[in-house]
Chains A and B, each alone.
Chain A
């Protein structure tokens, strides 16, 4: 039984990193495909499209920081806490990354027609980034209570 609990603890430590990486990969690929499509139709502003498609890459950074914060000796006493915080923050980061990629793709699709709305079109992606930051910050705060 102890082995299973310890395994869950290690899973919790690495989950934010792994799920954050998956989130960034999926999000960046969604937004990246949108920017490639938009580049075939527009005459300029390619740098902006590529820049926007890198937005979801922050999720893996948050995941790495959470992983380092959770990283400690895993004991039967702290494994449950590590598992809970790690898995749930990882899932939150994953959703944020994927949907931020979709929001970025929509922004790219809209701004290829109307470049003047570039800033406003990024607002949904920025709001999703805020939710990712919430998941990140409060994972750090809560992890301070784990022995």
Chain B
């Protein structure tokens, strides 16, 4: 069977997703998804793991440096053989680079020296640091709204916008792949978006904040956190 028909049965066994932000949870559990994904060949399973791992925020250490993150992106790109998945990955990284630049500028950070982030706009962004959208409104029309949401200090709105843009990007790529490995990989990435939105809760945010605070204050031994286990 040719590459474009490689995973017909697997793709047809995966339930479609409801509309993003309407669905309360992904269309199937991670356990069931992983069970279905055992049909992947070892090479494809490895490529999917690399892709998912590189795009997952939770897979990054909280104190990861820019250089380490960029190095990891390059390594991941090297391990993903499918051109369309590489393109998709770079698009996501460009999007993250632009959002990171917005956040830095919003915090009053100075213009980064040299290049910034990953992708085509790594030199363009520092060169246009003063422009509200880094003169990227054509390739990234959502940047204007993201800039506005950051100014309005609306993190939930920004998260919603970024997930929505990522979802649209993935759906655009999915239209070119029906039953091949790329279709499976895109399905899993869309599943992750649904999962991320479904898991967003105040309790989880508080837990993550506490973890961040613990890490930031790790060197200060004298401070006891109320409610923290010894």
Range for the number of chain B residues in contact with chain A: 10 to 19
- Which of B10, B12, B14, B179 has the most chain A CB atoms inside 10 A of its CB? B12
- Closest chain-B Cβ to A128's Cβ sits at a distance in Å of 15
- Which residues on B sit within 8 Å (CB–CB) of A41? 12-15
A109 touching B5, Cβ below 8 Å: no
- Chain A residues 30-80 with CB under 8 Å of chain B are 30, 33-38, 40-41
Q: How far is the CA of A114 from the CA of B14 in the complex (A)?
A: 14
B5 touching A102, Cβ below 8 Å: yes
- Given known contacts A105-B179, A106-B178, is B12 in contact with A112 (CB within 8 Å)? yes
Taken residue by residue from 1 to 34, chain B's Cβ proximity to chain A (1 for < 8 Å, 0 otherwise) reads as 1000100111111111000000000000000000
A113 touching B15, Cβ below 8 Å: yes
- Which residues on B sit within 8 Å (CB–CB) of A30? 1, 5, 8
B178 touching A40, Cβ below 8 Å: no
Q: How far is the CA of A105 from the CA of B11 in the complex (A)?
A: 10
Chain A interface residue count, CB cutoff 8 Å, equals 17
A109 touching B12, Cβ below 8 Å: yes
- Given known contacts A30-B5, A102-B5, is B12 in contact with A38 (CB within 8 Å)? yes
A108 at the interface (CB under 8 A from B): yes
- Which residues on A sit within 8 Å (CB–CB) of B5? 30, 33, 102, 105
CB closest chain-B residue, reference A37? B12
B13 touching A105, Cβ below 8 Å: no
B12 touching A34, Cβ below 8 Å: yes
B178 touching A37, Cβ below 8 Å: no
A33 touching B12, Cβ below 8 Å: yes
- Which residues on A sit within 8 Å (CB–CB) of B178? 102, 105-106, 109
Q: How far is the CA of A38 from the CA of B8 in the complex (A)?
A: 10
A37 touching B15, Cβ below 8 Å: no
- Which of B8, B11, B15, B179 has the most chain A CB atoms inside 10 A of its CB? B8
B9 touching A36, Cβ below 8 Å: yes
- Which residues on A sit within 8 Å (CB–CB) of B11? 34, 37, 109
Residues of A that sit less than 8 Å from B by CB? 29-30, 33-38, 40-41, 102, 105-106, 108-109, 112-113
Residues of B that sit less than 8 Å from A by CB? 1, 5, 8-16, 178-179
15 further contact pairs, Cβ within 8 A, besides A34-B12, A37-B14: A29-B1, A34-B9, A35-B12, A36-B9, A36-B12, A37-B9, A37-B10, A37-B12, A41-B12, A41-B14, A102-B5, A102-B178, A105-B5, A108-B12, A109-B11
